[in-house]
Amino acid sequence: DAPKPATRDLLDKRQAHFAAPQKHYYSTPPEMERGWREHMFDVEGRAYLDMVNNVSILGHGHPRLAEAAGEQWLKLNTNSRFHYAAVADFSERLASLAPEGLDTVFLVNSGSEANDLALRLAWAHTGARNVLCLLEAYHGWSVASDAVSTSIADNPQALTTRPAWVHPVAAPNTYRGAFRGPDTAGDYLLDVLDNLGDIEARGEGLAGFIAEPVYGNAGGIALPDGYLAAVYAQVRARGGVCIADEVQVGYGRLGHHFWGFEQQGVVPDIITVAKGMGSGHPLGAVITTRAIADSLEKEGYFFSSTGGSPVSSVVGMTVLDIMADEELQRNAREVGDHLKSRLAALIDRHSLIGAVHGMGLYLGVEFVRDRETLEPATHETAAICARLLDLGVIMQPTGDHLNVLKIKPPLCLSMESADFFVDTLETVLSEGL
Ligand code: PMP
């Protein structure tokens, strides 16, 4: 049976006062009530396997996290202008996770804030304004992070409304981009060089380059081999700084790596992180060098009322403790590898699947109508997601054509849940669309 949709009253109430640009999943969504590990439950008690929640990395309703947060709430919550151990401990802990030299931390509350601040740091440090970003990217909703967001699925006007300081370069999409396969870094570099040449020709400087080190928004696609090394070298040669947006792909999700940039064999100048680091509590961070961080002093001091609060710092440290104790990065690797190989096995049986992208528990199943032309199967993907909901699986599309299943569940996903997902997907594909 299809799930019972939320009552019309509740949807009407939401639409009456909750601003319309804040979309909701599904045309007739179930009303969600609680969560446990990789499952959510609606008010009817119906269970759903949550395969998209990359924020709750520990899983829903983690009692140890709730207890640690609750205890700290009862003890003290204030702001980081006061002196307390947790903010120093958490900053030290984050710095210890980053490569050598990236030892200085700003604590904020979201990925948008982290990317906004990273761009301000690039501007302050270089004295220049121009920033290179990728096409088909999403970096946040705040003014600067939105400016470098080029995904037309999120904003159909994105490509005609970017400010003059934003220079989008060709999407290095190794599956459906202008150049295909892992050995295309040199081809994609040409567009980067063109853009850098335009900036130079205008007699202007370069502030930096921002990209997800694994192409999360396009469905977890690996960048061409050596792409970031080549782009970072060009950007640094012109005085710019390199920002790695690890909001989606970093923090252990890839299983084989803690950070996405490790997969490309590079070290950025600025790392931005959010989402999973708070496992649902609003947390974000910028990790950079002392020299880049200190550049912001030219613009006065930096203060976030709740960034790095005692509660946020304790939540952040508890998330890392639980990840270590429950070996969640290892689980992401083992369950992710199993899930990817089972999904890849569907390719032979279902012509709609063009490719399976990604690594660990950031995977993408890309649907195409034709494996030669790669015509995106956008409507089919929407229908598959709707049918998966009927069968108890939460899944959403991503990418500029909304034809890629965005697989990024809590990192505690069990082997049984991974198998349930693949079996259910196979049922849906076999039903015909
Ligand atoms: N960067 C990336 C790659 C993201 O996917 C997102 C959120 N989807 C953000 C930044 C913005 O994060 P937030 O929603 O926490 O502001």
C-alpha span between 111 and 283 (Å, rounded): 8
Q: List Cβ neighbours of 126 (8 Å cut-off, separation of 6 or more).
A: 205, 206, 207, 208, 239, 240, 241
What does the radius of gyration of the chain's CA atoms come to, in whole angstroms? Answer: 21
Q: Which of 18-32, 123-137, 228-242 has the lowest mean pLDDT?
A: 18-32
SS3 category, 35: strand
Question: Where does the pLDDT of residue 15 fall: very low under 50, low under 70, confident under 90, or very high at 90 and above?
Answer: confident
pLDDT given for residue 1 in this prediction: 66
What is the distance in A from the centroid of ligand 1 to the CA of 395?
Answer: 18
386: exposed, middle or buried (Cβ count in 10 Å: 0-12, 13-18, 19+): middle
The answer to whether 301 and 81 have CB atoms below 8 angstroms apart is no
Q: Which tens digits make up the pLDDT trace of 170-196?
A: 999 999 999 999 999 999 999 999 999
Q: Give the fold, CATH level 3, of 8-58+327-431.
A: Aspartate Aminotransferase, domain 1 (3.90.1150)
Bridging pattern class, strands 362-367 and 404-407: antiparallel
Point out the ligand 1 atom lying closest to the alpha carbon of residue 274: 15
Write the DSSP string, 159-213. TTS--TTEEEE----TTTSSS-STT-HHHHHHHHHHHHHHHHHTT--EEEEEE-S
For ligand 1, atom 10: residue with the closest CA: 139
C-alpha span between 274 and 109 (Å, rounded): 8
| Ligand 1 mutation pick, 112, 141, 261, 271, max ligand atoms within 8 A of CB | 112
Amino acid at position 372, single letter: E
Which 8-state DSSP code applies to residue 37?
Answer: B
State yes or no: pLDDT of 34 exceeds 70.
yes
CATH of 63-325 among 3.10.20.30, 1.25.40.10, 3.40.50.800, 3.40.640.10 = 3.40.640.10
pLDDT given for residue 299 in this prediction: 87
Question: Where does the pLDDT of residue 60 fall: very low under 50, low under 70, confident under 90, or very high at 90 and above?
Answer: very high
Domains of the chain, by residue range, sit at 8-58+327-431, 63-325
Dihedral sign, CA of 342, 343, 346, 347? Answer: negative
State yes or no: pLDDT of 6 exceeds 80.
no
Dihedral sign, CA of 378, 384, 386, 388? Answer: negative
The answer to whether 332 and 411 have CB atoms below 8 angstroms apart is yes
Which 8-state DSSP code applies to residue 99?
Answer: P
The answer to whether 42 and 394 have CB atoms below 8 angstroms apart is no
**Is 410's C-beta closer than 6 angstroms to any atom of ligand 1?**
no
Q: Which tens digits make up the pLDDT trace of 142-174?
A: 999 999 999 988 889 998 999 999 999 999 999
Which segments within 264-382 are labelled E, that is strand? Answer: 270-273, 284-288, 353-359, 362-367
279 φ/ψ angles, rounded to the nearest 5 degrees: 45, 40
Q: Which tens digits make up the pLDDT trace of 208-248?
A: 999 999 998 888 999 999 999 999 999 999 999 999 999 99
The predicted model gives 106-127 an average pLDDT of 98
C-alpha span between 213 and 357 (Å, rounded): 14
Buried b (16+ CB within 10 A) or exposed e, 116-154: bbbbbbbbbbbebbbbbbbbbbbbbbbebbbbbbbbebb
Q: At what angle do helices 378-390 and 415-431 cross, to 10 degrees?
A: 120
Please provide the average confidence, as pLDDT, over all residues in the chain: 96
Q: Which tens digits make up the pLDDT trace of 327-364?
A: 999 999 999 999 999 999 999 999 999 999 999 999 99
The answer to whether 104 and 290 have CB atoms below 8 angstroms apart is yes
Structure-token pair, residue 265: 């064999």
For ligand 1, atom 14: residue with the closest CA: 111
401 φ/ψ angles, rounded to the nearest 5 degrees: -100, 5
Element (H, E) at 375: none
| Ligand 1 mutation pick, 53, 116, 133, 138, max ligand atoms within 8 A of CB | 138
State yes or no: pLDDT of 253 exceeds 80.
yes
Share of the chain above pLDDT 90, in %: 89
The predicted model gives 65-79 an average pLDDT of 98
State yes or no: pLDDT of 82 exceeds 90.
yes
Q: List Cβ neighbours of 18 (8 Å cut-off, separation of 6 or more).
A: none
Q: Which tens digits make up the pLDDT trace of 370-428?
A: 999 999 999 999 999 999 999 999 999 999 899 999 999 999 999 999 999 999 999 99
Element (H, E) at 349: none
For ligand 1, atom 13: residue with the closest CA: 111
Q: What is the ipTM of this complex?
A: 0.99
State yes or no: pLDDT of 278 exceeds 80.
yes
Amino acid at position 162, single letter: R
Direct distance between the N- and C-terminal alpha carbons of the chain, in angstroms, rounded to an integer? 18
